[in-house]
Amino acid sequence: MTAPIPVSAIPSSPGRASWRKEAAAVLVAFAVLALLPFVVTDSYSRHVLIMAFIYAVVASNWDLSLGYGGVFNFGHLALFGIGVYAYGLLTKFAGIDPWFAMALSGVIATIAAIVVTIPILRLKGIYIILVTFGFAQLVMQVILSQSDYTGGTQGMVRIQTLYIGEHNMIRDGKFAYFYIALAMLFLSTVFLRALVRSRIGAGIIALRDNEEYAVSRGVSIVRQRIVTLAASAFFTGVAGAFYAGYQRNASIDVFGMSLATIILSMVLLGGTSTIYGAILASFVLTIFAEAMADLGAWRPIITALLIIGVMLVYPTGLAGFIQSSWNGVFRRDNKVA
């Protein structure tokens, strides 16, 4: 048994903002976002922002397992898909209250993440990619084959929406949905940042950086991997449920390669192991994709070129780009490796 270490005894790592500064910055950023619906009044632009928030939740949670944990979980989108279908099935066939179903979807995604962690405990690198990829396909096949409930390739339609009292969610220009999505992103971000800054987070990072040493110092690889995957799954599942309630339909497309590629590029474009980078990249890519909406087949082509370009020039992603230009402008020494 180790006695809890007083906070003052933990050396502050150089280049890392104190939690007060960080909390203040997050609050300011979300306050600005919360004011957006008063500037952006048409429902289509609000829809784009809501989608950006959903993607930001999924991408930033993926950053926890991929960036911090170093676990190449390619089944992350399956967790999102599980959230989508769990919400749809729970509200439609079990008659569960939409809000409760949303929380339950997060729990179900978490359980699924724990199940998929078991086979990958002994695996490394590319094998983890393949098993988790296989897991995603397995989930998709099961959903496809149970077409009596899930609608198979047709998907589910007319899923119950979320509600707030008697408020009409559909005719308010997506005003209420905007705030629900923003609240979800806020909770998820606070949760993720608190986790990675905690001692558990330090253990996760230690395992990624030097597995043998971390294990020899008493970090349990089994427990830490399960914690990483499970923690990254909850809000991903909730985001899936929100997506289902918001779009009012569920389709098998959420398991497709194209969505996985887009979200993965958000994580990598933003720069891994930052959480904020993934969120920022989600905003940039979603809005960018909407701006090119009438380009047809050229849109994915340009997106792909952009991804390749950034990966070749800025291996640390947008976060690294911002860091280096910040240092360039303010002539700070780059102490942080």
Q: List contacts with another protein (CB under 8 A).
A: 66, 72, 118-119, 122-123, 125-127, 129-131, 133-135, 137-138, 141-142, 144-145, 257-258, 261, 264-265, 268, 272, 297-298, 300-301, 303-305, 307-308, 311-312, 315
**Cα–Cα distance for residue pair 109/82, rounded to 1 Å:** 6
Closest approach, Cβ 70 to another protein, in A, equals: 9
How far apart are alpha carbons 196 and 214 in whole angstroms? 16
The CA angle 255-176-154, to the nearest 5 degrees, is 30
Q: What CA–CA distance (Å, rounded) separates 146 from 155?
A: 11
Least separation in angstroms between CB 193 and another protein: 22
Alpha-carbon gap, residue 258 to 275, rounded angstroms: 22
**Between residues 166 and 212, which has the closer beta carbon with respect to another protein?**
212
- CB nearer another protein, residue 96 or residue 306: 306
Q: What is the smallest separation between the CB atom of 336 and another protein, expressed in angstroms?
A: 16
* Whole-number Å distance between alpha carbons of 279 and 267: 8
Which residue lies nearer to another protein by CB, 72 or 178? 72
Query: Nearest approach, Cβ of 63 to another protein (angstroms)?
Result: 12
Q: DSSP letters of 225-278?
A: HHHHHHHHHHHHHHHHHHHHHHHS-B-GGGGSHHHHHHHHHHHHHH-SS-SHHH
**Rounded Cα distance, 233 and 154, in Å:** 26
The minimum distance between CB 74 and another protein, in angstroms, equals: 8
- Pick 100 or 298: Cβ nearer another protein: 298
Distance CA 102, CA 83 (A): 8
If the CB atoms of residues 101 and 268 are measured against another protein, the closer one turns out to be 268
